[in-house]
Amino acid sequence: MRLLAAIWLLAFCITSTAQQVNLTNLNHALRWLDESQFPPFVKDSAISNEICANVVAALAKKFNAEPGTRPAGIDYKSITMFGSPKFAAPAKSSNPKDYQASVLSFITRGTSNTLSYWEMKVEVRQNGKTIYEHNTRHELVNFEGRVKWVDEASFKQHFGVLIDELLELSPPLASKYVLGHGIDYAELLRSNAQVWKVEKNSNLTGFGLPSFGPYTTLTAGKLDSPVLRTRKVLGTESSIGITSGAHALSFDQFKSIDFTKRKYGYLALAVGNDTLQTLYSINTHSVGTRRTFLSDLLSKDDDDENSGTAPLDRNIKGMFRTDTLVWEFILTSNEPSGAINGGYLENGKERFSLVQKYHSMNHSEMICKAEDGEYLASLDGSEMRIKKDLDPFTVHAFAIFYAVLMSTKNIK
């Protein structure tokens, strides 16, 4: 009986002094990237707690210890200016045998380019000394501007994959890391596409006559129809003042005006003995302020304070036919310059999205994607790629879609 009691007491002592892994800090930071692309899921307490629990479990597996305490949640920070997130060292423990760990997750755009990276850092201390530290860094592949990149489920999945690599519980990952479905669609298109050099053939009318591969733009321009303009007064703002010298009243009144403009264009694209034709409208929406006539009469200010019209958005809508299929398209812009940065192409059965992928400050690529994310075509500077195994009518559709994009690039 005494022997059993001694064995139980020994087992109890061993259990009570078992080493634990305590996660004292888990930080996640975003720098120079839009939260619409990388939503701050960690601000949700349920997601934050789940990730913390998974990190503690991974640390316990790494050090063959018991899962210990963890923070109440993930500390999140969005950095808009220059600067780097501060790495919080592991806090001290009352039990010197416990492992104290701190982890940093950091998604950032590069300082000298527009590539995006996901960095991880971990430090583990025991008895006040650092016994393990590791850093990882991956370029994120297939980043597209103004597109929500990951959902809640995939964020948690990728976070777990990167934590396992950080703790060396899994083999090192490739330097380029693919979010989403784990497929590098850009590389697939590069290895399985017909590649054509593009001649944009700009002219004085503003409408280009691009040519590439077997396609040649025969003619493009504005239809001989009136430009439709509308003005809508959104509101007025008035102010009354007294000029200091003559004690005279000064009355100023401005009205905000919504301007819309629509004009129509056309393009004919030759391929072999066939000609593909499209008609489209160029629609511009802008807002400006104007001094009212009464204000001109009563104001003591000589300055013309009318503001120019600030473009809010621009789009190009059109349609064309390839064999029996009718296609509709839209090219969109929300840039002050009016540069196209998105859109779609559809035929009633399929819909392809046009997205802009940034490579550097002066270099971006316009990519057509299928609904499952696959890249089917791209325009990269003076080079066009279209996937080889597409049916000829879909290839024709991409060709005329990109031809309109290039032809109307400088049309406001």
SS3 per residue for 158-223: HHHHHHHHHCCCCCCCCCEEECCCCCCHHHHHHHCEEEEEEECCCCCCCCCCCEECCEEEEEEEEC
Least-confidence region, from 106-110, 249-253, 269-273? 249-253
> 195 and 89, same structural domain?
no
Tell me which of 149, 182, 215 is where a domain ends.
182
More confident: 243 or 352:
352
Q: What pLDDT is recorded for position 202?
A: 81
Nearest alpha-carbon partner for 238 in 187, 291, 311, 183: 291
Query: Is the pLDDT at 183 greater than 70, yes or no?
Result: yes
Measured between alpha carbons, how far is 21 from 66 in angstroms, rounded to an integer? 6
Query: What total of structural domains would you count in the chain?
Result: 2
255 pLDDT tier (thresholds 50, 70, 90): low
Higher per-residue pLDDT: 381 or 87: 87
**Residue 285 has what pLDDT?**
80
Tens of pLDDT, residue by residue over 118-157, are 999 999 999 999 999 999 999 988 766 656 678 898 899 9
Instruction: Look at residue 357 in the predicted model and tell me its pLDDT.
Output: 83
Residue 31 in any domain: the answer is yes
Q: What is the pLDDT of residue 13?
A: 45
Does the residue 297 lie in any domain? no
Q: For residue 298, is pLDDT > 60? A: no
Pair 171, 201 in one domain = no
Q: Examine the domain organization and report whether 210 and 275 are in the same domain.
A: yes
Structural domain contains residue 243: no
Give the model's pLDDT for residue 24. 97
- Is the pLDDT at 261 greater than 80, yes or no? yes
Query: What are the start-end ranges of the E strands in 272-374?
Result: 274-291, 310-322, 325-333, 342-346, 351-360, 363-369
Does 239 map to a domain? no
When comparing pLDDT for 82 and 88, which is higher? Answer: 88
Task: Give yes or no for residue 320 having a pLDDT over 50.
Answer: yes
pLDDT exceeds 70 at position 14:
no
Residues 197, 336 within the same domain: yes
Residue 292 resides in a domain: no
Residue 154 has what pLDDT? 86
Please report, for residues 207, 221, 223, the alpha-carbon distance to residue 204 in angstroms, rounded to integers and kept in the order given. 8, 11, 16
Task: State the number of CA atoms in the 13 A half-sphere of 139 facing the CB.
Answer: 11
Assign 64 to helix, strand or coil: coil
Same domain, yes or no: 32 and 142 = yes
Assess whether pLDDT exceeds 60 at residue 76: yes
Same domain, yes or no: 313 and 390: yes
Structural domain boundaries, residue 365: 189-231+258-287+309-407
- Output the pLDDT for position 7: 47
User: Contact 317/330 with Cβ under 8 angstroms?
Assistant: yes
Mean pLDDT value across residues 216-238: 77
Same domain for 213 and 313, yes or no, is yes
Mean pLDDT, rounded, of the chain: 84
What confidence tens digit (pLDDT) does each residue in 21-37 have?
Answer: 999 999 999 999 888 88
What span, in angstroms and rounded, lies between the C-alpha atoms of 184 and 179? 9
Q: Residue 361 falls within a domain, yes or no? A: yes
Q: Give the Å distances, CA to CA, from 401 to 161, 244, 308, 322, 324.
A: 39, 61, 32, 12, 17
Do 22 and 114 have their domain in common? yes
Tell me the whole-structure pTM to 2 decimals: 0.65
- C-alpha distances in angstroms, 17 versus 23, 66, 248, 254? 18, 11, 87, 77
Q: Are residues 143 and 212 in the same domain?
A: no
Share of the chain above pLDDT 90, in %: 56
201 in the same domain as 133:
no
Amino acid at 10: L
Clarify whether residues 159 and 213 are in a common domain: no
245 belongs to a structural domain: no
Whether 42 maps to a domain, the answer reads yes
Do residues 145 and 52 both lie within one domain? yes
Which residues, other chains included, contact 101 with Cβ-Cβ below 8 Å and sequence gap of 6+? 21, 22, 23, 24, 59, 90, 122, 123, 124, 125
**Which of the listed residues 151, 182, 213 is the one where a domain comes to its end?**
182
How far is residue 217's CA from residue 194's CA, in Å, rounded to a whole number?
Answer: 19
What tokens were used for 329?
A: 């398209």
Amino acid letter, residue 212: F
Torsion angle of the four alpha carbons 371, 375, 379, 382, in this order, in degrees rounded to the nearest 10? 180
Return the pLDDT at 208. Answer: 92
- Residue 313's pLDDT is what? 80
Predicted local confidence at residue 80, as pLDDT? 87
Tell which wins on pLDDT, 405 or 288: 405
Q: How confident is the model at residue 362 (pLDDT cuts 50, 70, 90)?
A: low
CA max distance for the chain:
111
The percentage of residues in the chain with a pLDDT greater than 70, rounded to a whole number, is: 79
